[in-house]
Structure 1
């Protein structure tokens, strides 16, 4: 079985994630290809798409949100993601059990004795008036019946697990700050979440495997699980294994992939790319060594924005006024520093509201 070294996996990941060469894709198609973007920080997807798309217009993403073709909702890993309306409706029921278990993992003691079906029914009754609700507002409306758990536990269970919700714009719209207001997905999109088939063929799980590999492969089953949070996909992998190709990584793990998917030459040059906080190019794997060194792994879960140099996490970045400030994690060559400065200046110009944008690169620590 062919062994793919770390650099080969890195270049495959960059290609699938539209980071090796900016893509000429409509924003909707890019969100679909990427299987959504992690988006608990509302403005971060704009930087993520700017780094991936040629001539990205942030108004296009805002229009997709207000036009109900793209939705902010809890899904993979119980985190807020930005997904196409078609994908969230197709995938949401497959994630139901995982979402409940993840909320219970945090609030099991508080929710002990609460009948979750009754809680869901009470939440839906409150929402029947069509008024958007904050998580705390919805919890407050049902807390009289369940005073013991506390509003945080009730709200998390209702909004993140029991009732498929959409977070309404203007939250997530370009350069707009707005609180979270939730309405049921079915009300916002005018269509119910797709029901799972009565048999055990799991076509949704099989579709998730194919879509994940198209955007993240080659990857191990553990990587797939780390991306979506679902434990019940081995059967789906087994069902389509005959249509997949297999490799090994340098640790001996089996990696699966779609047979016709691109796997660039490991020596393919990789341009500097600025990634937003919690980007799935890093979080979408259990083994993140293909893109980030073990010593820097904590950055990926701490919400640090990172810079890829030669395809690997080599710096962090922040916004300070109209400046993009870069803090290297290692010493850059003169050519690398120049490329980081050029890409950082372009990002600063994109993010700046005043037009007076600049980039600052600190000395490595």
Structure 2
């Protein structure tokens, strides 16, 4: 029988892979590659996600990588916007295509019934060859050709069938702007992947999120039927089980710290993949905390104490002031509160240097 890993051991292993036990020395691009991408529906969330993981990270580090086209924002795993390196963009996008097709077949089935999607895709390519377009502009332009169809549905056909990146100034710190699409290949200067390498991608996932079950990998990717991939990899992997007997796979030499390794307070942005990439997420967030951080459209920004989500936070910035509100779901000890406040003060200094800072902790 495979050796068992307790929940705290799984949590410590995940935190080590995610650069959350100790900040690392890395460029923004290197850290994003190590994480196999960062969920990025909220445009500034990855800045906080990198700050909490990378020693000495500054906002210009990511802004420069975006404007320099070394990293891009693109719909990937679970059909959500991710920030990935230009190198990873095409291989990951090709791999998750079945999930994007499934979204069209389910959420937009009625709106697209009887429509030749290939023709819509080609029309969208022609439009995007001419200029970068917002989703609304793309939908309206397609609607002129198909006036009996919903503009949003038409734009989603192109978004889900063509690798599209969201171009700057979208998500550039201190600048920002509307979402505008460009086709990924000309933007990155690299050719689309002819065929994905599922085994290589799963190994990347394990390096960032392992040990993990087949269901965990499927949850992260938004794909099904990955058992065969895991079986092909089995001879190269270490095999464990969790407290419920679920089989877990991992890279043999990946870090698996002991359950008692200290885990410092860390602030995570909304939608952080740490909390969205396993079927069983209790290694870092309890079911009760998960209910409290979930929102209608996603997930609140959270903070960790001793390797577990302990509460949520919200930052409100103005021209000359910034307020950090920390909502602890359970009482903090004096030592825990001091550590939370100290890390919160560092977050304020990162996000709003030179401003008047106000930090509030409630339980």
TM bin, normalised by shorter chain, reads over 0.9
Question: Shift of residue 300 of structure 1?
Answer: 4.5
Structure 2 Cα separation of the partners of residues 291 and 149 of structure 1: 44
The two structures have a TM-score, normalised by structure 2, of: 0.95
How far does the alpha carbon of each residue in 1:139-175 deviate from its partner, in whole angstroms, 9 at most, with x for none?
111113323330111112212x111111000111112
Q: 2:274 aligns to what?
A: 281
Which secondary structure state, in structure 2, belongs to the residue aligned with residue 346 of structure 1?
A: helix
Q: 1:190 aligns to what?
A: 189
- Between 1:315-324 and 1:252-261, the stretch displaced more is 315-324
* Root mean square deviation of aligned Cα: 1.3
Assess if the C-alpha contact under 8 Å between 1:283 and 1:300 holds in 2.
no
- Between 1:319-328 and 1:332-341, the stretch displaced more is 319-328
Structure 2 Cα separation of the partners of residues 171 and 144 of structure 1: 27
Q: Within the alignment, does 1:263 sit opposite 2:256 as a pair?
A: yes
Q: 1:323 aligns to what?
A: 323
Structure 2 Cα separation of the partners of residues 353 and 261 of structure 1: 37
The two structures have a TM-score, normalised by structure 1, of: 0.95
Structure 2 Cα separation of the partners of residues 50 and 300 of structure 1: 23
**Which stretches in structure 2 are left out of the alignment for 5+ residues?**
none
Count of equivalent residues: 355
Structure 1 Cα separation of the partners of residues 104 and 271 of structure 2: 20
Q: 1:143 aligns to what?
A: 143
**Which stretches in structure 1 are left out of the alignment for 5+ residues?**
197-202
Structure 1 Cα separation of the partners of residues 25 and 138 of structure 2: 42
Structure 1 Cα separation of the partners of residues 104 and 134 of structure 2: 17
Question: Shift of residue 138 of structure 1?
Answer: 1.0
Q: 2:162 aligns to what?
A: 163
Q: 1:312 aligns to what?
A: 308
Assess if the C-alpha contact under 8 Å between 2:38 and 2:46 holds in 1.
yes
Assess if the C-alpha contact under 8 Å between 2:124 and 2:158 holds in 1.
yes
Q: 1:13 aligns to what?
A: 14
Structure 2 Cα separation of the partners of residues 30 and 145 of structure 1: 43
Q: Which stretches of structure 1, 4 residues or more, deviate above 4 A after TM superposition?
A: none
Assess if the C-alpha contact under 8 Å between 1:306 and 1:316 holds in 2.
yes
Assess if the C-alpha contact under 8 Å between 1:110 and 1:148 holds in 2.
no
Q: Within the alignment, does 1:245 sit opposite 2:238 as a pair?
A: yes
Q: 2:89 aligns to what?
A: 88
Structure 1 Cα separation of the partners of residues 176 and 229 of structure 2: 40
